[in-house]
Structure 1
Amino acid sequence: MASDPFDDLLELENDYYKEGYDAGVADSTYAGMIEGKVFGVEKGYEKAAGLGKLHGRALVWQTRLSQSAHDKSRQSDAPGSSAVPRYGESEKLGKIIRNLGGFPDNTRLGRHIEALYSVTDGASISKDNSDEAVTGFDDRIARASAKAKVISNIVGEPLNPATITNSGIEDATGLQARH
Protein backbone atom coordinates (compact mmCIF):
# COMPACT_ATOMS: atom_id res chain seq x y z
CA MET A 1 0.00 0.00 0.00
CA ALA A 2 1.34 3.44 -0.89
CA SER A 3 2.05 5.96 1.82
CA ASP A 4 -0.28 8.85 2.30
CA PRO A 5 0.97 11.99 0.47
CA PHE A 6 -0.18 14.15 3.42
CA ASP A 7 2.03 12.40 6.06
CA ASP A 8 4.89 14.85 5.46
CA LEU A 9 2.48 17.74 5.75
CA LEU A 10 1.02 16.44 9.02
CA GLU A 11 4.53 15.96 10.52
CA LEU A 12 5.57 19.49 9.55
CA GLU A 13 4.61 20.97 12.95
CA ASN A 14 6.71 18.39 14.84
CA ASP A 15 9.68 19.00 12.55
CA TYR A 16 9.56 22.76 13.15
CA TYR A 17 9.16 22.22 16.90
CA LYS A 18 12.26 20.00 16.99
CA GLU A 19 14.25 22.43 14.84
CA GLY A 20 13.28 25.38 17.10
CA TYR A 21 14.06 23.38 20.24
CA ASP A 22 17.54 22.45 18.99
CA ALA A 23 18.28 26.08 18.00
CA GLY A 24 17.11 27.27 21.43
CA VAL A 25 19.35 24.79 23.24
CA ALA A 26 22.38 25.89 21.20
CA ASP A 27 21.66 29.61 21.74
CA SER A 28 21.01 29.21 25.47
CA THR A 29 24.24 27.29 25.95
CA TYR A 30 26.22 30.15 24.39
CA ALA A 31 24.21 32.84 26.23
CA GLY A 32 24.64 30.95 29.51
CA MET A 33 28.41 30.95 29.12
CA ILE A 34 28.42 34.71 28.44
CA GLU A 35 26.09 35.43 31.37
CA GLY A 36 28.19 33.18 33.61
CA LYS A 37 31.35 35.08 32.72
CA VAL A 38 29.67 38.44 33.37
CA PHE A 39 28.31 37.16 36.69
CA GLY A 40 31.76 35.88 37.66
CA VAL A 41 33.39 39.23 36.89
CA GLU A 42 30.73 41.07 38.91
CA LYS A 43 31.07 38.79 41.94
CA GLY A 44 34.86 38.90 41.74
CA TYR A 45 34.77 42.69 41.67
CA GLU A 46 32.41 42.81 44.67
CA LYS A 47 34.66 40.52 46.68
CA ALA A 48 37.84 42.38 45.72
CA ALA A 49 36.25 45.75 46.49
CA GLY A 50 35.15 44.50 49.92
CA LEU A 51 38.65 43.22 50.66
CA GLY A 52 40.10 46.51 49.42
CA LYS A 53 37.84 48.48 51.78
CA LEU A 54 39.01 46.37 54.70
CA HIS A 55 42.64 46.89 53.63
CA GLY A 56 42.07 50.65 53.52
CA ARG A 57 40.55 50.52 56.99
CA ALA A 58 43.58 48.59 58.21
CA LEU A 59 45.87 51.29 56.80
CA VAL A 60 43.87 54.07 58.46
CA TRP A 61 43.74 52.22 61.78
CA GLN A 62 47.47 51.50 61.54
CA THR A 63 48.18 55.17 60.93
CA ARG A 64 45.92 56.25 63.79
CA LEU A 65 47.58 53.76 66.13
CA SER A 66 51.03 55.07 65.33
CA GLN A 67 49.78 58.68 65.35
CA SER A 68 49.95 59.08 69.12
CA ALA A 69 53.61 58.01 69.21
CA HIS A 70 54.31 60.25 66.23
CA ASP A 71 52.53 63.18 67.89
CA LYS A 72 54.57 62.72 71.09
CA SER A 73 57.83 62.82 69.17
CA ARG A 74 56.62 65.82 67.16
CA GLN A 75 55.81 67.75 70.35
CA SER A 76 59.42 67.43 71.42
CA ASP A 77 60.57 68.96 68.08
CA ALA A 78 60.77 72.66 67.35
CA PRO A 79 57.40 74.47 67.32
CA GLY A 80 57.72 75.52 63.66
CA SER A 81 58.33 72.05 62.25
CA SER A 82 55.82 70.70 59.76
CA ALA A 83 54.47 67.19 59.63
CA VAL A 84 55.63 65.01 56.75
CA PRO A 85 52.99 62.69 55.27
CA ARG A 86 53.57 59.01 56.07
CA TYR A 87 52.75 55.78 54.17
CA GLY A 88 52.58 57.62 50.85
CA GLU A 89 49.52 59.57 51.97
CA SER A 90 48.66 62.92 50.50
CA GLU A 91 48.68 66.06 52.62
CA LYS A 92 44.87 66.22 52.57
CA LEU A 93 44.50 62.59 53.63
CA GLY A 94 47.08 63.05 56.38
CA LYS A 95 45.11 66.02 57.71
CA ILE A 96 41.88 64.01 57.74
CA ILE A 97 43.51 61.11 59.58
CA ARG A 98 45.07 63.49 62.12
CA ASN A 99 41.63 64.99 62.73
CA LEU A 100 40.24 61.53 63.47
CA GLY A 101 42.55 61.27 66.45
CA GLY A 102 44.89 58.57 67.55
CA PHE A 103 44.35 55.44 69.58
CA PRO A 104 45.91 54.74 72.94
CA ASP A 105 49.06 52.63 72.79
CA ASN A 106 47.57 49.12 72.95
CA THR A 107 49.63 46.10 71.89
CA ARG A 108 46.56 43.89 71.55
CA LEU A 109 44.95 46.40 69.19
CA GLY A 110 48.22 46.66 67.28
CA ARG A 111 48.36 42.87 66.79
CA HIS A 112 44.77 42.81 65.51
CA ILE A 113 45.44 45.65 63.08
CA GLU A 114 48.64 43.99 61.81
CA ALA A 115 46.73 40.71 61.33
CA LEU A 116 44.00 42.53 59.38
CA TYR A 117 46.64 44.26 57.27
CA SER A 118 48.41 41.00 56.42
CA VAL A 119 45.18 39.12 55.65
CA THR A 120 44.00 41.85 53.26
CA ASP A 121 47.37 42.46 51.58
CA GLY A 122 46.82 42.11 47.84
CA ALA A 123 50.37 40.96 47.12
CA SER A 124 49.88 37.70 49.01
CA ILE A 125 46.53 36.77 47.44
CA SER A 126 46.45 34.01 44.83
CA LYS A 127 45.00 35.21 41.53
CA ASP A 128 44.32 31.71 40.17
CA ASN A 129 40.84 30.67 39.13
CA SER A 130 40.95 27.28 40.79
CA ASP A 131 38.53 25.99 43.40
CA GLU A 132 41.23 26.08 46.09
CA ALA A 133 42.18 29.69 45.30
CA VAL A 134 38.55 30.85 45.34
CA THR A 135 37.93 29.05 48.63
CA GLY A 136 41.08 30.61 50.08
CA PHE A 137 39.98 34.08 48.92
CA ASP A 138 36.55 33.63 50.51
CA ASP A 139 38.23 32.42 53.69
CA ARG A 140 40.42 35.54 53.74
CA ILE A 141 37.36 37.76 53.39
CA ALA A 142 35.68 35.99 56.30
CA ARG A 143 38.79 36.28 58.50
CA ALA A 144 39.28 39.94 57.55
CA SER A 145 35.64 40.76 58.33
CA ALA A 146 35.93 39.08 61.71
CA LYS A 147 39.16 40.97 62.50
CA ALA A 148 37.58 44.27 61.44
CA LYS A 149 34.62 43.62 63.77
CA VAL A 150 36.97 42.89 66.67
CA ILE A 151 38.98 46.06 65.99
CA SER A 152 35.87 48.22 65.64
CA ASN A 153 34.61 46.89 68.98
CA ILE A 154 37.95 47.61 70.66
CA VAL A 155 38.16 51.18 69.36
CA GLY A 156 34.44 51.79 69.89
CA GLU A 157 33.66 52.82 66.33
CA PRO A 158 30.95 51.30 64.15
CA LEU A 159 32.21 49.21 61.26
CA ASN A 160 29.49 50.52 58.93
CA PRO A 161 28.52 54.00 60.12
CA ALA A 162 25.80 54.37 57.47
CA THR A 163 23.76 51.56 59.04
CA ILE A 164 23.77 53.16 62.50
CA THR A 165 21.72 56.24 61.65
CA ASN A 166 18.14 56.25 62.93
CA SER A 167 15.53 57.16 60.34
CA GLY A 168 12.64 57.71 62.73
CA ILE A 169 11.46 57.50 66.30
CA GLU A 170 10.46 53.87 65.79
CA ASP A 171 14.07 53.02 64.98
CA ALA A 172 15.58 54.79 67.98
CA THR A 173 17.51 52.40 70.19
CA GLY A 174 18.32 54.72 73.05
CA LEU A 175 21.87 55.34 74.20
CA GLN A 176 24.75 53.92 72.24
CA ALA A 177 26.90 51.44 74.14
CA ARG A 178 30.17 53.10 73.06
CA HIS A 179 30.82 56.71 72.20
Structure 2
Amino acid sequence: MPSAAPLASTANGNLSANDNIRRFAAPSRPFTPLEHNLFHNKTRCFVYGMQPRAVQGMLDFDFICKRSTPSVAGIIYTFGGQFVSKMYWGTSETLLPVYQEVEKAISKHPDVDTVVNFASSRSVYSSTMELMQFPQIKSIAIIAEGVPERVILYFSPYAWYRQSHAG
Protein backbone atom coordinates (compact mmCIF):
# COMPACT_ATOMS: atom_id res chain seq x y z
CA MET A 1 0.00 0.00 0.00
CA PRO A 2 1.42 3.42 -0.88
CA SER A 3 2.35 5.56 2.02
CA ALA A 4 0.99 9.01 2.55
CA ALA A 5 3.32 11.95 2.89
CA PRO A 6 4.44 12.22 6.52
CA LEU A 7 2.91 14.96 8.62
CA ALA A 8 5.42 17.67 9.32
CA SER A 9 4.95 20.58 11.64
CA THR A 10 6.15 24.06 10.90
CA ALA A 11 8.39 25.96 13.29
CA ASN A 12 5.42 27.22 15.32
CA GLY A 13 3.82 23.75 15.57
CA ASN A 14 1.02 24.35 13.04
CA LEU A 15 0.41 22.00 10.14
CA SER A 16 1.02 23.28 6.61
CA ALA A 17 -1.37 22.98 3.65
CA ASN A 18 0.65 20.13 2.10
CA ASP A 19 0.53 17.93 5.21
CA ASN A 20 -2.62 16.06 4.26
CA ILE A 21 -1.85 15.50 0.56
CA ARG A 22 -1.63 11.86 -0.47
CA ARG A 23 1.12 11.08 -2.98
CA PHE A 24 1.36 7.88 -5.01
CA ALA A 25 4.62 6.41 -6.24
CA ALA A 26 4.97 5.71 -9.96
CA PRO A 27 4.93 2.02 -10.81
CA SER A 28 8.37 0.43 -10.99
CA ARG A 29 7.41 -1.03 -14.36
CA PRO A 30 4.25 -0.99 -16.44
CA PHE A 31 1.84 -3.77 -15.57
CA THR A 32 1.46 -6.16 -18.49
CA PRO A 33 -1.93 -7.89 -18.40
CA LEU A 34 -2.88 -10.96 -20.37
CA GLU A 35 -3.26 -10.29 -24.08
CA HIS A 36 -7.04 -10.82 -24.12
CA ASN A 37 -7.94 -8.71 -21.06
CA LEU A 38 -9.49 -5.36 -21.91
CA PHE A 39 -9.65 -4.17 -18.28
CA HIS A 40 -8.03 -5.56 -15.15
CA ASN A 41 -7.54 -4.57 -11.52
CA LYS A 42 -4.51 -2.42 -12.39
CA THR A 43 -6.13 -0.52 -15.30
CA ARG A 44 -5.32 3.19 -15.23
CA CYS A 45 -6.80 5.87 -17.42
CA PHE A 46 -6.73 9.48 -18.48
CA VAL A 47 -9.85 11.61 -18.41
CA TYR A 48 -9.99 13.77 -21.55
CA GLY A 49 -11.76 17.02 -20.67
CA MET A 50 -12.08 18.92 -17.42
CA GLN A 51 -14.68 16.86 -15.55
CA PRO A 52 -13.76 17.13 -11.85
CA ARG A 53 -17.01 15.58 -10.58
CA ALA A 54 -16.57 12.51 -12.77
CA VAL A 55 -12.93 12.17 -11.74
CA GLN A 56 -13.81 12.52 -8.06
CA GLY A 57 -16.50 9.87 -8.45
CA MET A 58 -13.96 7.49 -9.98
CA LEU A 59 -11.49 8.18 -7.16
CA ASP A 60 -14.20 7.63 -4.54
CA PHE A 61 -15.12 4.30 -6.14
CA ASP A 62 -11.45 3.25 -6.23
CA PHE A 63 -11.02 4.15 -2.56
CA ILE A 64 -14.15 2.26 -1.51
CA CYS A 65 -12.96 -0.77 -3.51
CA LYS A 66 -9.62 -0.53 -1.67
CA ARG A 67 -7.50 -0.01 -4.78
CA SER A 68 -3.92 0.81 -3.83
CA THR A 69 -3.57 3.44 -6.57
CA PRO A 70 -6.25 5.54 -8.26
CA SER A 71 -7.51 4.40 -11.66
CA VAL A 72 -7.22 7.99 -12.92
CA ALA A 73 -3.58 8.83 -13.69
CA GLY A 74 -4.27 12.33 -14.96
CA ILE A 75 -6.51 14.70 -16.86
CA ILE A 76 -5.98 15.89 -20.43
CA TYR A 77 -7.39 19.38 -20.87
CA THR A 78 -6.27 20.98 -24.12
CA PHE A 79 -7.74 24.41 -23.34
CA GLY A 80 -5.55 25.21 -20.33
CA GLY A 81 -1.95 25.10 -19.25
CA GLN A 82 -0.28 22.29 -17.38
CA PHE A 83 -1.17 22.28 -13.68
CA VAL A 84 -2.40 19.96 -10.95
CA SER A 85 -5.95 19.45 -9.75
CA LYS A 86 -6.63 18.75 -6.08
CA MET A 87 -8.88 15.73 -5.52
CA TYR A 88 -9.74 13.60 -2.52
CA TRP A 89 -8.57 10.07 -1.87
CA GLY A 90 -10.71 9.04 1.07
CA THR A 91 -10.19 11.72 3.70
CA SER A 92 -6.81 12.86 2.40
CA GLU A 93 -6.04 14.95 -0.66
CA THR A 94 -4.11 14.01 -3.77
CA LEU A 95 -2.90 16.08 -6.70
CA LEU A 96 -3.73 14.86 -10.21
CA PRO A 97 -1.65 16.22 -13.07
CA VAL A 98 -3.52 18.09 -15.81
CA TYR A 99 -1.84 17.98 -19.22
CA GLN A 100 -2.44 20.24 -22.18
CA GLU A 101 -0.96 17.79 -24.70
CA VAL A 102 -1.85 14.13 -25.17
CA GLU A 103 1.73 13.26 -26.11
CA LYS A 104 3.12 14.63 -22.85
CA ALA A 105 0.52 12.76 -20.77
CA ILE A 106 1.26 9.49 -22.57
CA SER A 107 5.02 9.86 -22.13
CA LYS A 108 4.69 10.54 -18.39
CA HIS A 109 2.39 7.55 -17.72
CA PRO A 110 3.48 4.35 -19.51
CA ASP A 111 1.03 2.32 -17.42
CA VAL A 112 -2.08 4.05 -18.82
CA ASP A 113 -3.92 2.18 -21.58
CA THR A 114 -7.44 3.62 -21.35
CA VAL A 115 -9.01 7.05 -21.92
CA VAL A 116 -12.44 8.27 -20.86
CA ASN A 117 -13.23 10.95 -23.45
CA PHE A 118 -15.59 13.71 -22.29
CA ALA A 119 -14.97 15.89 -25.37
CA SER A 120 -17.93 17.78 -26.80
CA SER A 121 -19.85 16.37 -29.75
CA ARG A 122 -18.08 18.92 -31.98
CA SER A 123 -14.58 17.81 -31.02
CA VAL A 124 -15.04 14.14 -30.15
CA TYR A 125 -13.97 12.94 -33.62
CA SER A 126 -10.68 14.86 -33.70
CA SER A 127 -9.80 14.09 -30.08
CA THR A 128 -10.52 10.38 -30.49
CA MET A 129 -8.51 10.17 -33.71
CA GLU A 130 -5.63 11.90 -31.93
CA LEU A 131 -5.82 9.40 -29.07
CA MET A 132 -5.87 6.48 -31.51
CA GLN A 133 -2.47 7.58 -32.86
CA PHE A 134 -0.82 6.21 -29.70
CA PRO A 135 -0.37 2.40 -29.62
CA GLN A 136 -0.28 2.51 -25.81
CA ILE A 137 -4.00 3.40 -25.73
CA LYS A 138 -6.02 0.17 -26.03
CA SER A 139 -9.53 1.42 -25.22
CA ILE A 140 -11.38 4.72 -25.40
CA ALA A 141 -14.75 5.31 -23.74
CA ILE A 142 -16.58 8.19 -25.41
CA ILE A 143 -18.99 10.02 -23.09
CA ALA A 144 -20.62 12.64 -25.31
CA GLU A 145 -24.20 13.49 -26.18
CA GLY A 146 -25.35 14.22 -29.69
CA VAL A 147 -22.61 12.37 -31.57
CA PRO A 148 -24.07 11.05 -34.83
CA GLU A 149 -23.73 7.31 -35.37
CA ARG A 150 -21.95 7.90 -38.69
CA VAL A 151 -19.13 9.67 -36.81
CA ILE A 152 -18.68 6.69 -34.50
CA LEU A 153 -18.67 4.35 -37.50
CA TYR A 154 -15.54 6.12 -38.80
CA PHE A 155 -13.60 4.79 -35.81
CA SER A 156 -14.22 1.08 -36.45
CA PRO A 157 -12.16 0.64 -39.65
CA TYR A 158 -9.28 2.58 -38.15
CA ALA A 159 -9.41 0.53 -34.95
CA TRP A 160 -9.45 -2.74 -36.91
CA TYR A 161 -6.53 -1.57 -39.05
CA ARG A 162 -4.61 -0.52 -35.96
CA GLN A 163 -5.25 -3.85 -34.25
CA SER A 164 -4.19 -5.90 -37.29
CA HIS A 165 -0.95 -3.90 -37.68
CA ALA A 166 -0.02 -3.82 -33.99
CA GLY A 167 3.58 -4.75 -33.33
Normalising to structure 1: TM-score of the pair? 0.20
Whichever of the two has the greater Rg, that structure is: 1
Structure with higher RCO (Cα < 8 A, 6+ apart): 1
Higher strand share: 2
Normalising to structure 2: TM-score of the pair? 0.21
Higher helix share: 1
